[in-house]
Amino acid sequence: MKRTCGIGGQAVLEGIMMKNKEKYAVAVRKPDKEIELMVDEYKGFSDGKKILSLPFIRGIFNFVDSMILGIKTLMYSSQFYEEEEETEKKSGSKAEDIIMGFTVILSVVFSVALFIVLPYFISEFLKNSLHISSNTVLSIVEGIVRIAIFVLYIALISMMKDIKRTYMYHGAEHKCINCIEDGRELNVENVRISSRLHRRCGTSFLFLVMFISIAAFILVSALLPQGTGKLVKVVVRLLLVPVIAGVSYEVLRLAGKNDSLIVRIISAPGMALQKLTTKEPDDSMIEVAIQAVEAVFDWKEYRKEIGMEPEN
């Protein structure tokens, strides 16, 4: 069984968000090079609702929660770099909640259009061009197109200067978590030598969604009657997205706790993709990540729990 500390996070603008249970912290390197730290609590959709915490259901709501909190913390970090000084560094205002809700909806619509709807229509075009008669082959082609679009999208945005720095902070986040789970003291030197790849990463989750969708859509193609219209096929795919997300979440949880050969094989593509979405951070970024971790997680107590002796 692989060791896991249970904390997670994400990169924000010139900083890191780390979350442990309901508590989260955002550490941002401000333009004056000082580190601003904000600690708060976030209670998601599943809080106090047992039915929403059940396997295959919890993944759907955890994904929505991660999007909401991710956008919320991104908005917080961006305030330090806005040109207009009158911007208030306050979270939770009504206007901010409306903007955040709209941004979440827009993000979901964009993702669904780009990674679910577009691959379907491209595969339909290829079906006529290449004279594909097998629904199974067509579903595989659709899946390959979907993964290709996803990888190309990540590769293209990784060329942007601001995204490159965000990916460096993403690397710092992973390195901190790996340092803790490897049982080492959390300091700049130990974090620097830790891996920037992690199995519980959101990149791996999204790749699993792409991969599992191939099997799901092959099954759907086999079950739908001949002559089913394109609109119905698109609607069915959209309805399957939450199911695919729920299954992908459970696979990711398993990958985070298990180190078997099968899990390593399943995790390999997502881990490889993280080489695009993470970059090696500099020491100043590692310092930011460490502050975010220490605000929500007692790594010294964790080392005692796993039986590690204090280092001199």
pLDDT 10s digit of each residue in the chain, 312 long?
A: 667 888 999 999 999 999 999 999 999 999 999 999 999 999 888 777 888 888 889 989 888 899 899 999 998 999 888 744 444 444 455 666 677 677 778 888 888 899 999 999 999 999 888 888 888 899 999 999 999 999 999 999 988 888 999 999 999 999 999 999 999 999 999 999 999 999 889 899 989 998 999 999 998 888 888 888 889 999 999 999 999 999 999 999 888 888 888 888 988 999 999 999 999 999 999 999 999 999 999 999 999 988 876 654
Helix (H, G, I), strand (E, B) or coil at 211: helix
Q: How far apart are alpha carbons 263 and 268 in whole angstroms?
A: 8
- Identify the three-state secondary structure at position 6: coil
Number of other residues whose CB lies within 10 A of the CB of residue 38: 18
CB 247 within 8 A of CB 212: yes
Residue 95 pLDDT:
65
pLDDT of residue 96: 64
Euclidean distance between CA atoms 308 and 310, whole angstroms: 7
Instruction: Specify the pLDDT at position 63.
Output: 87
38 within 8 A of 25, measured Cβ to Cβ = yes
Cα(79)–Cα(89) distance, integer angstroms: 7
**Tell me, what's the pLDDT at 84?**
43
Q: Which amino acid is it at 270?
A: G
pLDDT at position 144: 93
Q: Locate the DSSP E strands across the chain.
A: 8-12, 15-20, 23-29, 35-41
Asked if residue 4 lies in contact with residue 181, where contact means CB atoms within 8 angstroms, the answer is yes
Kindly state the tokens that stand for 279. Answer: 């970059």
Please state the pTM of the whole predicted model.
0.85
Is the separation of the CB atoms in 302 and 4 below 8 Å? no
